Structure formats: C-alpha cells, structure tokens
Amino acid sequence: MLKYLFGLATFVFLLVVIRFGLKGAGMWDDKISNKSRNTFTGFNWFYRIPFSIGVIPEYFFWLTIGNNNYFKTNWWALKTSSFITFLLFIAVLSNGSEVESYYSFERIAEGGLMSFLASGITFWYLNLLMLFYSTVFILIVIESIRMHHWYAPVRIIMYSILSLLMSVVTFIVLGLIILTTILYIAYKIIKFLFFSKNRKRREEEDDEDVSETLNNNYRIFRAELYTWEDELRSTRSSVRKEKKTIVKRKRPTIRRKPKIKPKNDDIPRFHPE
C-alpha cells in the first residue's frame, strides 16, 4: 500500500514540476531575450495529429502542462519526446525483455558495441528511437544557442530535464490507461454478475456524472484549441505576406565614362594655319 501511495505522490510531484518548470522556463526566455535584445524567439513549432482524433493527445498535454503553458509554442521538445516515448512503450509491450537488456547494456558487456547492430529487429527499432531522442536534444541546443548565446547552457539543461520528465509521465500514464481499462472491464463483469439492478443504476448514474464532467472539459478544450489554431495560422500567414512584400532596392551602379585624350586637331591655337 505504501508503494502505491509513494508512486502516486511521485506522479503528482512530476506533474507539478513540469507545469511550474515550463512556466519558469518561459519567463527565463523572455528575460534573457529582452536583456540581449534578440529578435529570435525560438523555432515556435506546433503540430498535432490531424483530424479530430489528434485532439485526444492534446487534451492529455493540456491536463499535464496547464492551460497557460499549452497555448504557447515553446514546448515542442516536450511533445516530441512524449510521442517518441509512446513508440518506446509499444516496444515494451511487444518485447519487454529485449528493451530491458538494451538499456541495461547487457549485450555490450557480452558482445561489444556491434551487438546493438546485430541483435535483431527490436534493437534496430530502439536504435532508431535513440536517434530521435538525440535529434530532439540537438535541436534544443541549436535553438538555445540562437536565442541566448552565452546563457544557452542554462536553457539546454532546463528543457532537457523537462523533456525527460515529460517522457516519464507519458510512460506512467500509458501504463495507467491499460491498467485502468483492465480493471474497468473486470469491474463491469463483476457488477453485471453479482450486484442488484438498483445498485447498478446508482453506480451507472455516478459513472455518468464523472464521464459528463470529462466530456464537458474535453469539448471546451477542443473549441479553444480550434480557435487558437485558426489565430496561429492567420498570424503566421500575415507574417509571411509581410516578408514577401518587402522590396529590396538595388544599389545604383556608377559607371564612369572614360576620358578622351585630346588629339592634335583638338589643341586650340591662335593661328590654325
């Protein structure tokens, strides 16, 4: 029981750290950018899975980092790390022992570095995921150097830690979703077999209250997300139009006429004869 309570407390602590850490990172970016008078504000990438199904993971991000942090474009690294962690979670479900041996470096101790290249499809898949993680880190470094110059190491550490914590939270939430689904199915089966109809009705009404609350919050978030995306597209398109309408004037080229040397006939004389 104490282990579960400790795990729950750790999970809540990670959520608090991500939410307030991302807020502090945004304030740090604004402070250093104003101090150095740098016009580059970051890559400002925002993407999501298309269609209405893409709103579901965005709803998870909104619940995790908070409303104020979500409607910004400085947390692309956290989102990308979360999606990569989803691919890692699939690998754990399919072949957990291989994933454990990959990250425990058992194969390196046995066969050296070449074991990562000659240990099957799972290791190649994990190598690809590690390449994705490395790419995210390199992009964080490039963005931080362009934004903060000499203060870049501080920003690199902040966003790297936040991305790592987001990966851990994503992994925990995916595990909780599967566990909750299994428990919910078992609960429905037991309730159908052993409980009375009156009690079933009461419990169904309680379930409907919870589901209605979640659905209402989801609808509100979806409407805000669509509105914000439209505003973001309009602002980006207007910025692109302004860049296109800028007319660059060419510098005038000064052409000097060659001096004509006077001939004998051109020399003025008092007596031409």
**Residue 220 domain flag:** no
Give domain status of residue 37, yes or no.
Answer: yes
Question: In this predicted structure, what is the pLDDT of residue 171?
Answer: 94
Q: Which amino acid is at 246?
A: I
Concatenated DSSP letters of the chain? -HHHHHHHHHHHHHHHHHHHHHHHHHHHHHHHHHHHT------------SSGGGHHHHHHHHHHH-HHHHTSSS-HHHHHHHHHHHHHHHHHHH-HHHHHHHHTTHHHHHH-GGGGTSS-HHHHHHHHHHHHHHHHHHHHHHHHHHHHGGGHHHHHHHHHHHHHHHHHHHHHHHHHHHHHHHHHHHHHHHHHHHS-HHHHHHHHHHHHHHHHHHHHHHHHHHHHHHHHHHHHHHHHHHHHHHHHHPPPPPPPPP-PPPPPPP-GGGS--SS--
Q: Is residue 69 part of a domain?
A: yes
Query: Residue 145's pLDDT is what?
Result: 95
- Angstrom distance (rounded) from CA 87 to CA 125: 9
Can you tell me the mean pLDDT for 201-228? 78
Of the pLDDT bands very low, low, confident and very high (cuts 50, 70, 90), residue 76 is very high
Of the listed ranges 58-62, 116-120, 247-251, the least confidently predicted one is: 247-251
- Using pLDDT thresholds of 50, 70 and 90, give the confidence band for residue 204: low
Is 38 within a domain? yes
Report the pLDDT averaged over residues 180-193.
85
Provide the domain count of the chain.
1
Residue 243 pLDDT? 61
Contact call for residues 43 and 143 (beta carbons, < 8 A):
yes
pLDDT of residue 10 exceeding 60: yes
Q: If we measure between CA atoms, which residue out of 139, 145, 140, 138 comes closest to residue 38?
A: 145
**Residue 221 above 90 pLDDT?**
yes
Query: 207 lies in a domain?
Result: no
Provide the residue range defining the domain that includes 45.
2-200
Q: Do residues 58 and 76 make contact, with C-beta atoms less than 8 angstroms apart?
A: no
Report whether pLDDT(100) > 60.
yes
Mean pLDDT across the stretch 142-153? 94
- Percent above pLDDT 70 for the chain: 79
14-40 CB burial, b ≥16 within 10 A, e <16: bbeebbebbeebeeebeebbeeeeeee
Mean pLDDT of the chain, nearest integer: 84
108 in a domain, yes or no? yes
